[in-house]
Each structure stands twice: as structure tokens, then as C-alpha cells.
A and B are shown apart, each in its own frame.
Chain A
Amino acid sequence: MTIALYASVFLVATCGLIYELVAGALASYLLGDTVLQFSTVIGAYLFAMGVGSWLSRFVGKGLTARFVQVEILVGVVGGFSSTVLFLAFAHAASFRVLLYLIVFIVGALVGLEIPLMMRILKDRLDFKDLVSQVLTMDYIGALFASVLFPLLLVPRLGLLNTALLFGLLNIGVAAATLHLFRDSIHERAGLRASCAAAAVALVLGLAFSGRIASKAEGDMYADEVIFSKSSAYQRIVLTRWKDDWRLFLNGNLQFSTMDEYRYHEALVHPALSAHVAPRRALILGGGDGLAAREVLRDKRVETLTLVDLDPMMTRLFTTHAELSKLNGGSLRDPRITVINADAYRWLEKNETPFDVVIVDFPDPSNYAVGKLYTTAFYRLLRRRLAPGGLIAVQSTSPLFARTTFWTVVATMEAAGFDARPYHAYVPSFGEWGYVIGATAPYRVPSKFPPGLRYLTPEIARGMFDFPADMARVPCEANRLDTQVLVQHYEREWARINHGG
């Protein structure tokens, strides 16, 4: 009996803390701001436990049966808490309400457990032993859960499975109690049936949690997911709503067909059209073929080389009927050569000169990508330019990440380029920045290829003016041995994303 008591208090305490940790972790994952989420979830949970303890006084007759019911309820509500929250996240308006509601229910039920248990056992043990043993196991269970959770459960099982598994343990405690106290419980049959039903539901939940997670991913995006696949390098997700196609790489929006022409026209033509004879062009990144579409608009371009890391991206945008329509079949154009390689390493080996290079890398959000925004990289690029050559670099937002943007400018200058920063408004991105690196005096083009929807010589001239809120700030060049850019980027975008 004593062993059973220890075991059940220990399990109940472990489960209770696990649900609290699951809710806190899930809220931090989905909403960000870990400190806030954990504090409020823990606070609400502890308060609800207090409410549960207080409510326990209203439980009168049939104590053991009530305890079994509470266990079943905790098992079901707690067990499914993470699944429900995960699925509900896409409907963010009600998410916080649901989060605290679930936290409160689970907390209140867990708050009922220990008082009920102590009352059930009060006639079988000395009061001082009872209190000491129950509370000891309670606290040990809490320690066990808090250590197990970050080190084993989250990495191995994930949040969905962890909650479901501990739900099953609660049901186990209910079943064990039913068995041990079989003589003092009247409504045994009904409780047994509920136990079994709850266990079946939780086991099914475990079996299908993989599918639930991917359904939840679908709900993370506003529109219908029409393609989602992980390549060796990234997770590629395409969504579509009417005519609006959107590409997400690792969850970051790459383009929306509603306004991508603005981004790509602004990226390509101010540099390309400024060159007197851009025969050989190079695109680094840009596996979607949209920048290539813009480059190929210019009939003076004889050869275009596109170097992108991910073969799945370039294949998708070459062969997929709908997607290759977006880039106008640019990746199948006779003038293009597509190469899947690491840009830096490819540039190091390939010594053929280019007239214009379009650099369309992901934002410098980690140290590996950050290396592609350094003086070393721009110097290498400069060595690959034919006399009079130009480069154009996408360089994040001068409005949201002002120091980041101007650091790119300073870096290109330090590498010997005449750097000409400019910006364009792309609704789905906001105010976006680019830098042209010239090796000869640069003049804004007075003529662009036909068929553009955004850029005109007048618009282009205006792009080179920076209003006061985006004006240059003093900053040092980004070097391999300092990588200041990544630090600026992290700081500035963290500010935007957390609204602080």
C-alpha cells in the first residue's frame, strides 16, 4: 500500500508539472518572449491549483470515485492540451484565451488531486506520516519532471507526444486506484469504461500525432499549402490563395506573386541597365528563377549563370508547370546555365569574368550566411568582375534594420566598390534595401527594358534618396573575423519581431 501511495503521488506530481511545462514551452514556441510566456503560464497554473485545492472541500461522498474521475479528466485534458493548442494556433485571435483556459482547467484539476488523495488515506496512516510522505513524493515528482522535460522529453518525444504520454500515466493512476480500492467504489463499471475510453483516445492521439503536426503546419500559413517538402538544405513551402502564390523557406516569406515584380525589378535593372554592354551575367541565389526572368528581359545579355545551393529549388522552378509560369520559363531559357553549388566555393574556383552580378542571398541571420556579406566575399566578387562591372546586392530593410543595411554599404565600400544604396517599397516585405557596387562611375539608367510593371527612370532616380528615418548611420565594415553584421541583424529584427 505504501509503495502504491508513493508511486501514485509521484506520478501525479510528475504529470502535473509536465502539463505546466508543456503549456509554457508551447506558448514560448508559438508566441515568442519566453520569459513572459513561462511566467504567466506558471502563475495561472499555480493559481488554478489553489482554486482546485479550495474546491476539494466541496467533494463529500464517494471520495475515491471522485479522485478516479479527476485523474481521468486530468489525463484527457492535460494529455490533449498540447495537441489542441497546436492546432488552434493558426486561429491566433482566440489562442491566448484557449491557452489560459486549458492551463486553468488542468491546474484546477491537479489542485484537487493531492487534497483528495490525503483525505482518502487519512484513516490508513498517521497524519504526520501522511503529510510528510505525500509532500515528499510530490516535490520529488516535480524535480523529476523538470529535469526530464528539457533533457529527454522535448528532444526525444516533442511537446505533442509528451503531453499525450503523461495523459496515459494519469489514466494509469486512475486504473490502479480503481483496482486497489475496488471494494469501496460503487460505480466501478462506469469508471472502468471511462478509463478505457480515455486510454484509447490518448493512444490514438499518439499514433496520429505526426499527422496532426503536419496539419498544424498547414494551418500556420494563411493560405492553402500546395507544396511542402524538406530538401537537404531547407524546408520549402508554397501556398496559394486565388492568384497569390507565396514561397516560404524555413518559414520565411521569399516572395508573393502579388508584388514580387517590384522586388525583382528593383534588384536587377538599376544595375543591369546601367552597364553599357552586359553580355555575361551571374545570379547568386535566386533559385526561384524570378531574378533570372528579369535579367533575361535584357536582350543584350548573352549568357546568364545562376548559382543556387539547393537543387530541389531549381528543379521545382524549372519543371513544375505552374511555377515555371511564374518565372516565365527563365530556368529553361537557352541563355541560362543553372549550377547547384555553394556560392563562395564556386566563385573561388570559377575565374571567368562577369559584367553584372546579382546577389540574392538570404538575410544574414546566422554566421554561415553572414560570411557571404563580408569584405572577403565582396573582394572575391570584385576580382570576378570584368572592367566596368557592377554588382547588386539585396541587403535587408533600411527601415527595420537600419544599421544592418548601412553595414552592408560600408562593407562593399571597404572592399573597393563605389557603393550606391537604394530602396523600394515591396508591400509584402515593407521598405526594402539594395546596394549597387560599381567599379566605374555609376549613373542611374535613363532607359529600362520594355515590359516592366514598376520601374521607370523617374521612379529609379527617387530610389537613391534616403529620407531621414533611413539615412546613413556610422558603422564599420563586416569582416570574417568580426561578423558584426549578424549581430546587428539579430538585434534589429528581434526588436521588430517582438514589438519591443
Chain B
Amino acid sequence: MGSHQPRGLTRREFIGGAVAAAAFAACRTERGIPGELLGPNHALGHKLREGKFDLPSSTERVPVVIVGGGAAGLSAGWKLLRSGFGDFVVLDLEARAGGNAAWDENAVSRYPWGAHYLPVPGPHARAVRELLRELKVITGEAKGRPVYDESVLCHAPEERLFLHGRWQDGLYPRLGASAADLAERDRFHAAMSSFRRRVGRDGRPAFVIPMEHSSRDPELLALDALSMSAWLDKNGYRSPGLRWYVEYACRDDFGGTLAEVSAWAGIHYFAARGEGADDEMLVWPEGNGFLVGRLAETLGRRLRTGALAFDVRHDADGVRVDYYDAGTGTTKRLLAKRAVVCAPRFAARRIVEPLREKKPTSSAFSYSPWAVANLTVSDPPAGLGAAPAWDNVIYGGEGLGYVDATHQSFAQNRRESVWTYYRPLTGDPEGRRRAAYETSLADWREQCLADLERALPGLRRRVTRLDAWVWGHGMVLPKPGFIWGSERREAALPLGPIHFAHSDLSGYSIFEEANDRGVRAAEAVLAALGKPHRSSL
């Protein structure tokens, strides 16, 4: 397995030389592919770091303010509305709310810029199931299990992997695997199955989404002290194929390598999700942009975009929120009884006064940067071997491969697709983040195309547009000790009338956790205001 990558390179170099020598294919001109380098609203973010804002030009009273319109903030608003409480506003700095589930569209398709799928939620993710019923993604129930709208379940074939010069079905590298490799894979899956069934000494299931429902059995929490690579070593997992596969999962869900991610998180990835028919994914062309888009719709005018909250603090009888309104270029003040800060921790520490005063020098909250590219491809190449799938991964690739936004389409003879290329920038987050901000569009384009062309030679000639997006703080990284450590737990506690909700308070960045945190905070606010409600937790 280890020899795969270098061999691929030599071969390409050799062919490159051969092409020049034979003076063939001189027609291959490198025409420029149009595109743009995008990212979260840097202009407003920068304004926040500068900290120069006018005094408020208006003051408004509203009982509840939600700061941040990502999955957590929108879910908090959704829960308030569903409980019959509509007296709140949601502030989001982007022109279109949605946080990590950002999306866009062009003439070919909608496409994601971030989170792009939702695994079928398990029984503990009650609020997510309620939301899906409301959105008619869950259409009914049969034998006590939800029935999903078939067209939203990821259509077959779901995933394929490129290795040894061809595509195979599924993500475990089967081609060229030895009997020993396969035995190790089976042993690993058996171990994950037993974790899936395991119940801690406190009577709770070992690994659950949302993580708050998981067991606190010290024996299980001890796994959080270990890195995933240490756990694999300890349990004798040496097969390079298996380790690649597990690392792929960690990079995909956490943006970290085996060494960077805690064993509790790594095992949670496999053990907290269903098996067989319960291991399905809900996908939309715009990814989770569908979910945040529908949530934003239900909030209507309560959602204020282009609104940068820069100061949240206790006030005599509640919370005072000052925000910069990019639309009018003025500062506005909201006086509320309660606030829910649904920003990632690193941003909360800049805008929430009590946190800002503490000014801790270092934090257990660490974020992996990500680069994402969207490619418009005409006459999309299929490559050798297994048919194109929704998720197309390259063994040993720098990125995670590409996801086809048009996969769910019913159109026959599709001539154009939009592919989303994901790449977690693993390694020292600070250094990678700085480097990522300094990387030019041309360099991202070259890196993305070079990575994909390992499997699809000549792809660049079919790419009509390539945009790239850099997430400086893409995902909170569940480093060893973080998920069950004290800093994360304490960060989730309210500071007087100021509540907090964000997936990073769960230790890893997925929609279900963001939703859980948002709903949890909304219910706490409702309780504090004395509003009756039915719990979704």
C-alpha cells in the first residue's frame, strides 16, 4: 500500500517526459479557468478585530437575542418558534445565514461550501427527527422507525475509492488487500459493533449523538485521553489500508489525523451511527445548506443578516447586545432579557464581555482549517472501474476527494456537474491557518486539480470554473482530552442571562450537535422566562 503513491508519481513523470519526447499532444494548452477565492465574511470579521465601532444610533427592546445564525442559532430560533415564542431576533454577520453549512448555486446546480450531508439520525437525536418530520424529509413511520423521502437518501452508488489505477465500490481499500488486511478490517468492525451495543456502568449507551446522552463511565471516558493512533497501536491494528480508512473518517468528520484526534472521538464516529439500513445519509445538492435554508425561512424577518454583534454584556435587567449593521453602516443596540451566543468559542471570546475580560492566553478549543473548492465540470469523466458515486475518494490523496452535487438529479444524460472538493488542512492549526490565508487562488486550483487528476487524468480540460473557499476555523478539533475535559464543559454553562450554543461545545462539528446545543439553549431560555414548552431533548 505504501508504495502506491510514489509509484503513481514516477509513472506520471515518465509519461510527462515521454509526451515531450514524442512531441505528441502539443495541443494541450493551459487556458485559464475562471474562478474566485471566497471565504467567510472577512471584511466584517476584520472590523471586529479592529474593534472600532460608532456609538449605537438606535435602541430596541426584544426579549431574546440569538447571536449567530449557523445551525445552532437557527435551531435555537426554530425551537423558540415551535414552542409558540416568537419574540426574538437572530443576528448573523454573513449576507446569507447558515454558518458551516454555507452554499451557493450556479446555472448547473446548487452546491455546498461546507457541511454536505446528514447521517440518518438515531433515536437520541429527537430534535433532528422532529425537524426532519417538519421538513417532510421523514414522511411517516413503519415498525417504529422513521420512513424517509427516498429521493433525499443518498442514491446508489454512494461512495467509491480510487486505488491501484482504478475505482472500486466502497471506501475500505479492498483492491490488493491481503487476507491479513481483511481479517483486521473485520476485527475492527466487530470492535466498533461491540462499542455500538455497549452500555456504560451508569446505564447509558456508550457512544451517542448528541454526545450529551453518552455514558460517563470513566472506563469509556478514559479513551478520550488517548489519540486514535495510540488506540489502534494498542489494539494491534497495523494494516495500512485499515489505518488509512480510519484516518479518512477522522479527517472527514473532525479535520484531524489519527494522531490529532482522541480515541473517544474516533470510535464515536463509527459507534454512534447505525449499521446496515440505519447507516444511510441524507443529501441535498446544496448539502446541509438545505437544512439551514429551510430553518432560516421559518424565522422570516426575525433573522437579521449582515449584522455583526461585537459586544454582548450583562445589563441592569438583562443583556445588552451592540451590533454593527452592514446594511446601514450604523451601530444598533438591543436590550434583551436573555441572549444565546451561538458563535464558535474563539469568536465568543471576542464579543462576550465576561469572557473578554478573562483573556485566557491559551485555550483547549483548537480549530482545523479547511480548503474547499467547487468545480463546474462539463462531460464529467467517469474514470476506470466502478461507476461514479456521490462521494469519490482517492486513496492516499491530499484531499478527501470530491462529492457530486448533481448526484441526486433525475436528469438523463447529464452533461455538466458541480463537484465539491474538500481538503482538511491537518497539522499545526496555527501554522496551517496562516499558510492557508496566504495561498493564492491559482495555488489552490493547482493543488485541487493535481490531487483529482491522480484519478482522472486530463480533468482540467473539462473544468469550466473553479472557486475556492478557505475556512480558517473550519471545525473544532477533538484533540485528546478535549471532549471530556473541563474547559469544554464549563464553556457550555450559561453566564447569568447569557447562554451558549455551538457544536464546538460538543467537541466536534456536526449538524446534530449544533442542533442539540441550539435546542438545549432555547429550552433553557424558555424555562428562565417561565414559558411552558415540550422538551425535544
* Known A-B contacts A309-B413, A480-B150; A367 and B457 likewise in contact (beta carbons under 8 Å): no
Question: Which secondary structure dominates where chain B touches chain A?
Answer: loop
Contact B150 A152, beta carbon cutoff 8 Å: no
List 4 A-B pairs, minimum CB-CB distance, nearest first. Answer: A344-B410, A483-B156, A376-B150, A481-B153
**Residue of A148, A156, A367, A379 touching B15 (CB-CB under 8 A):** A148
B residues with a Cβ closer than 8 A to A are 11, 14-15, 18-19, 22, 24-25, 150-151, 153-158, 280, 387, 410-415, 457-458
**Residue of A366, A372, A376 touching B151 (CB-CB under 8 A):** A376
Cα separation A366 to B156 with both chains bound (whole Å): 11
Task: Write out the residue numbers on chain B whose beta carbons fall within 8 Å of the beta carbon of A395.
Answer: none
Cα separation A144 to B17 with both chains bound (whole Å): 11
Interface size class of A (residues with CB under 8 A): 20 to 34
Contact A371 B15, beta carbon cutoff 8 Å: no
Query: In the complex, which residues 348-380 of chain A have their Cβ closer than 8 Å to any Cβ of chain B?
Result: 348, 366-369, 371-372, 374-377, 379
Cα separation A232 to B415 with both chains bound (whole Å): 9
Closest chain-B Cβ to A411's Cβ sits at a distance in Å of 11
**Smallest CB gap from A485: residue in B:** B156
Task: Write out the residue numbers on chain A whose beta carbons fall within 8 Å of the beta carbon of B155.
Answer: 367, 371, 480-481, 483
Query: In the complex, which residues 211-237 of chain A have their Cβ closer than 8 Å to any Cβ of chain B?
Result: 232-234
Contact B280 A345, beta carbon cutoff 8 Å: no
Contact A345 B150, beta carbon cutoff 8 Å: no
Cα separation A377 to B155 with both chains bound (whole Å): 13
Q: List 29 A-B contacts (CB under 8 A).
A: A147-B15, A151-B457, A152-B15, A152-B24, A156-B25, A232-B415, A233-B412, A233-B413, A234-B413, A309-B412, A309-B413, A342-B410, A342-B411, A342-B412, A367-B156, A371-B155, A371-B410, A372-B410, A374-B150, A379-B150, A479-B153, A480-B150, A480-B155, A480-B156, A481-B150, A481-B155, A481-B156, A481-B158, A483-B157
Contact B18 A156, beta carbon cutoff 8 Å: no
Task: Write out the residue numbers on chain A whose beta carbons fall within 8 Å of the beta carbon of B156.
Answer: 367, 480-483
Closest chain-A Cβ to B169's Cβ sits at a distance in Å of 10
Contact A148 B18, beta carbon cutoff 8 Å: yes
Contact B410 A232, beta carbon cutoff 8 Å: no
**Smallest CB gap from B157: residue in A:** A367
Contact B19 A152, beta carbon cutoff 8 Å: yes
Cα separation A152 to B24 with both chains bound (whole Å): 9
Cα separation A367 to B280 with both chains bound (whole Å): 18
Cα separation A479 to B15 with both chains bound (whole Å): 43
Cα separation A152 to B19 with both chains bound (whole Å): 9
Closest chain-A Cβ to B164's Cβ sits at a distance in Å of 14
Task: Write out the residue numbers on chain B whose beta carbons fall within 8 Å of the beta carbon of A348.
Answer: 410
**Smallest CB gap from A345: residue in B:** B410
Contact B15 A151, beta carbon cutoff 8 Å: yes
Query: In the complex, which residues 7-42 of chain A have their Cβ closer than 8 Å to any Cβ of chain B?
Result: none
Closest chain-A Cβ to B493's Cβ sits at a distance in Å of 41
* Known A-B contacts A147-B11, A483-B156; A367 and B387 likewise in contact (beta carbons under 8 Å): yes
Closest chain-B Cβ to A156's Cβ sits at a distance in Å of 6
**Smallest CB gap from A370: residue in B:** B156
Contact B157 A368, beta carbon cutoff 8 Å: no
Cα separation A82 to B150 with both chains bound (whole Å): 48
Q: Beyond the given A151-B15, A367-B387, A481-B156, please list 14 additional residue pairs across the A-B interface where CB-CB is below 8 A.
A: A147-B15, A151-B457, A232-B413, A233-B412, A233-B413, A344-B411, A345-B410, A368-B413, A371-B410, A372-B412, A376-B150, A377-B410, A479-B153, A483-B155
Closest chain-B Cβ to A493's Cβ sits at a distance in Å of 16
Contact B25 A147, beta carbon cutoff 8 Å: no
Cα separation A379 to B150 with both chains bound (whole Å): 10
* Known A-B contacts A148-B22, A481-B155; A375 and B150 likewise in contact (beta carbons under 8 Å): yes
Contact A368 B150, beta carbon cutoff 8 Å: no
Task: Write out the residue numbers on chain A whose beta carbons fall within 8 Å of the beta carbon of B154.
Answer: 481
**Residue of A152, A342, A345, A372 touching B25 (CB-CB under 8 A):** A152
**Smallest CB gap from A484: residue in B:** B156
Cα separation A483 to B154 with both chains bound (whole Å): 11
**Smallest CB gap from A151: residue in B:** B15
Contact A479 B24, beta carbon cutoff 8 Å: no
Task: Write out the residue numbers on chain A whose beta carbons fall within 8 Å of the beta carbon of B151.
Answer: 376, 480
Give the interface centre of B25, B151, B387, B410 by most chain A CB atoms within 10 Å. Answer: B410
Cα separation A152 to B151 with both chains bound (whole Å): 39
Task: Write out the residue numbers on chain A whose beta carbons fall within 8 Å of the beta carbon of B158.
Answer: 481
Task: Write out the residue numbers on chain B whose beta carbons fall within 8 Å of the beta carbon of A233.
Answer: 412-413
Cα separation A155 to B456 with both chains bound (whole Å): 13
Cα separation A366 to B22 with both chains bound (whole Å): 38
**Smallest CB gap from B153: residue in A:** A481
Contact B24 A480, beta carbon cutoff 8 Å: no
Query: In the complex, which residues 287-330 of chain A have their Cβ closer than 8 Å to any Cβ of chain B?
Result: 309
Cα separation A480 to B390 with both chains bound (whole Å): 12
Closest chain-A Cβ to B461's Cβ sits at a distance in Å of 12
Task: Write out the residue numbers on chain B whose beta carbons fall within 8 Å of the beta carbon of A371.
Answer: 155, 410
Cα separation A367 to B406 with both chains bound (whole Å): 13
Closest chain-B Cβ to A176's Cβ sits at a distance in Å of 17
Contact A369 B412, beta carbon cutoff 8 Å: yes
Cα separation A372 to B413 with both chains bound (whole Å): 13
Task: Write out the residue numbers on chain B whose beta carbons fall within 8 Å of the beta carbon of A479.
Answer: 150, 153
Query: In the complex, which residues 477-496 of chain A have their Cβ closer than 8 Å to any Cβ of chain B?
Result: 479-483
Cα separation A233 to B413 with both chains bound (whole Å): 6
Cα separation A234 to B413 with both chains bound (whole Å): 9
Task: Write out the residue numbers on chain A whose beta carbons fall within 8 Å of the beta carbon of B410.
Answer: 342, 344-345, 348, 371-372, 377
Contact A156 B24, beta carbon cutoff 8 Å: yes
Give the interface centre of B19, B151, B157 by most chain A CB atoms within 10 Å. Answer: B151
Cα separation A155 to B461 with both chains bound (whole Å): 14
Task: Write out the residue numbers on chain B whose beta carbons fall within 8 Å of the beta carbon of A309.
Answer: 412-413
Cα separation A264 to B414 with both chains bound (whole Å): 29
Give the interface centre of B11, B280, B413 by most chain A CB atoms within 10 Å. Answer: B413
Cα separation A370 to B458 with both chains bound (whole Å): 29
Cα separation A372 to B412 with both chains bound (whole Å): 10
Give the interface centre of A366, A371, A372, A481 by most chain B CB atoms within 10 Å. Answer: A481
Closest chain-A Cβ to B473's Cβ sits at a distance in Å of 34
Contact A144 B150, beta carbon cutoff 8 Å: no
Contact B412 A144, beta carbon cutoff 8 Å: no
Task: Write out the residue numbers on chain A whose beta carbons fall within 8 Å of the beta carbon of B413.
Answer: 232-234, 309, 368
Cα separation A321 to B11 with both chains bound (whole Å): 56
Closest chain-A Cβ to B157's Cβ sits at a distance in Å of 7
**Residue of B14, B24, B387, B458 touching A147 (CB-CB under 8 A):** B14
**Smallest CB gap from A342: residue in B:** B411
Task: Write out the residue numbers on chain A whose beta carbons fall within 8 Å of the beta carbon of B157.
Answer: 367, 483
Cα separation A300 to B242 with both chains bound (whole Å): 65
Closest chain-B Cβ to A226's Cβ sits at a distance in Å of 25
Give the interface centre of A152, A155, A232, A344 by most chain B CB atoms within 10 Å. Answer: A152
Task: Write out the residue numbers on chain B whose beta carbons fall within 8 Å of the beta carbon of A374.
Answer: 150
Closest chain-B Cβ to A28's Cβ sits at a distance in Å of 14
Cα separation A480 to B410 with both chains bound (whole Å): 10
Task: Write out the residue numbers on chain B whose beta carbons fall within 8 Å of the beta carbon of A345.
Answer: 410-411
**Smallest CB gap from A361: residue in B:** B412
Task: Write out the residue numbers on chain B whose beta carbons fall within 8 Å of the beta carbon of A369.
Answer: 412
Give the interface centre of B156, B411, B413 by most chain A CB atoms within 10 Å. Answer: B156
Give the interface centre of B19, B158, B412, B415 by most chain A CB atoms within 10 Å. Answer: B412
Interface string of A132-160 (1 = CB under 8 A from B): 00000000000010011001100110000
Task: Write out the residue numbers on chain B whose beta carbons fall within 8 Å of the beta carbon of A376.
Answer: 150-151
Cα separation A155 to B19 with both chains bound (whole Å): 14
Task: Write out the residue numbers on chain A whose beta carbons fall within 8 Å of the beta carbon of B25.
Answer: 152, 156
Cα separation A368 to B151 with both chains bound (whole Å): 13
Closest chain-B Cβ to A199's Cβ sits at a distance in Å of 18
Closest chain-A Cβ to B12's Cβ sits at a distance in Å of 9
Task: Write out the residue numbers on chain A whose beta carbons fall within 8 Å of the beta carbon of B19.
Answer: 152
Task: Write out the residue numbers on chain A whose beta carbons fall within 8 Å of the beta carbon of B414.
Answer: 368
**Smallest CB gap from B457: residue in A:** A151
Closest chain-A Cβ to B27's Cβ sits at a distance in Å of 9
Closest chain-A Cβ to B459's Cβ sits at a distance in Å of 13
* Known A-B contacts A345-B410, A345-B411; A480 and B153 likewise in contact (beta carbons under 8 Å): yes
**Smallest CB gap from B158: residue in A:** A481
Give the interface centre of A148, A155, A369 by most chain B CB atoms within 10 Å. Answer: A148
